[in-house]
Structure 1
Amino acid sequence: MPHNIFGTQVIAAPMAGGTSTPAFVTAVHEAGGLGFLAAGYKSVAAMQADIRAAREAGARFGMNLFVPDPAQLAPSAAALAGLEEYRLRLRPDALRYGVEVPPLRLDDDDEWEAKVEALLADPVELVSFTFGLPGAEVVRSLQRAGSAVLATVTTAAEAALAADQGVDALVVQHGCAGGHSAAFLPDSPAGPAVPGSTAELIAAVRSAVGLPLVAAGGIMDGAGLRRVLAAGAQATQLGTALLRTEESGARQLHKDALASPHFTQTAPTRAFTGRTARALVNEFVRDHPDAPEAYPAVHHLTAPLRAAAAAAGDAERLNLWAGTGWQQARAGSVAEVLAGLLD
């Protein structure tokens, strides 16, 4: 078994959009885990401010970056037509709140190069990547700067490609995980009924590569943790299990929805961002089953609707990210939830 570079068996997932705050990451650290800040959707300055805040609090932490997809940033004529059609279909949702659906935005690469340069100039202990691979040159540069590099993968095939780029470890995400799928190969499973279990996926990746593995998806208790460790993971990455905690930066509306009997299932959807993400099934998910695959263009189209829904306390039109084990998510402090997991 490779050396455990994480120093813990519990990692808090980088949850972009405001959930993984420096205070949340600090609480995870103080409870014996390792938290990841999320650079996604943030400016370089905001990412750097989060790093400073976590350091000042004395926390160990990592930073996660979104890898841009060149094909999504330069869509075909057919893809553009699909986006314009979806924009029209969103108008009734916008009218409900008195907001406008914005024009298409196709230039957002999440400040990719500037964020990489900032992390090279001021290195953090661990850097992870989601939605693709950063390239061997970026991996080597970060490692030379002193960072360990993790790639997020969803299949053994993706794991092999990541290993070829020289990363230090892999986050292996099963399709039952909440939020965005990290899949970057076209045949990666992300349907409503994903095959196998997280432990089985870990075993498959373990047989394909020799890197340290972090299991992500569906781990909600100590039994789940033990299963993935037995399958070959060194640690587990928790997202949904920590969403309802006091220190989580998730909206209270989201936290309440996770505990509400009104919501009875999750499903993968592109309706909110144009990238497959598992969420509680609400009216917006049901109304837009065929949203185009176009991230982050769809994210920008729906942003005013989501903000208005949140302001109105309307959980039916908010992106309620949740893994399949959401009903086991507990309220309370991060320390209490992690203590229950590690018992």
Structure 2
Amino acid sequence: MCSFEPQRTLKEIVNYACSHNTQLKQLGIRVKGGSSIIFPRISSCQALTSLKLYVYPKGLYINGKRTLFPKYLNLPALTSLDLTYFTFCASDNADHAEPFSSFNSLNNLIISSCTVMDAPILRISSATLVNLIMSYNSPDFTKIELSAPSLYTITFDGIPYQRLSGSSLSSVKQVKIDADISTRFEEFSLILFNWLQELDNIKSLTVTASTLQILSLVPDLFNVKLPSLLCNLKTLKVKLKSLPFRLHLISELAMFKNKSHKEIHKRPEASAEPFFTIPEGIVDILFQNSPSREIDITDYRSPHQIVQWVEIDLKTVIINGGYR
């Protein structure tokens, strides 16, 4: 009877795949535990254009140790990189990690559940990067620096732990945010607002209702003028979907803070689903410097959660069903 050895099997599979290194274009690996055998073999795949690596840690789901990503990986043809559960390392005496600068053809980058070791900053440098997706990354680092003059779309899911900065962000035209928080409401609302201030040249903003709730918690947001905020914004897309239970607190806080808060949807008394609202005035804040506006509201809840629509005063509103 043959015994099954995961590491030996993984090594054989990786070796077989990389033995075709001149023809191998796409490679995806999803594994739990050690990955020491992966990167030495991948580095020989010079024709590789797409790489997906999901290396889940051993031990507890949250506290497991993430895999170290190489400081340098020579894949000149790589255009798409998707990483889950990795740690990026800073260079000697540097205050930042810069793991992607060697990829000279990179167009699409996804980093999920990743962190930075021994530095507070993750620097994403790429002259060719067009699309960036960041999802539920670690709170262990505090800032993301972007040096990507071709970057067009940024998509974010999760808790906004990191502030955003960059010297060439005017190329970004589309931003999608599905924000979540559990505590430190004011801090995370200010971080989200910082993103919008840094990405002031965007034309399309897609957010969830909970993201708008978080933004509404920015201190004095409804009492000050912001002449440089989102001057080119043309389209706001709002996704209505069921909130996690903890985000019920956001709605409560927003309603307490903003006395003129108006509900677009209301929860029936018999329903146990947390209700959510779009804070009154938040749309006007986002469009205050824009010469035109288009609002696209899409509902992703199940039909039994839909109670009624309440008319809101907007120049253009598009309401979609889209149950999922």
TM-score, normalization: structure 1? 0.27
Q: Give the strand-richer structure, 1 or 2.
A: 2
The structure with more radius of gyration: 2
- The structure, 1 or 2, with the larger RCO (C-alpha pairs under 8 Å, 6+ apart) is 1
Q: Give the helix-richer structure, 1 or 2.
A: 1
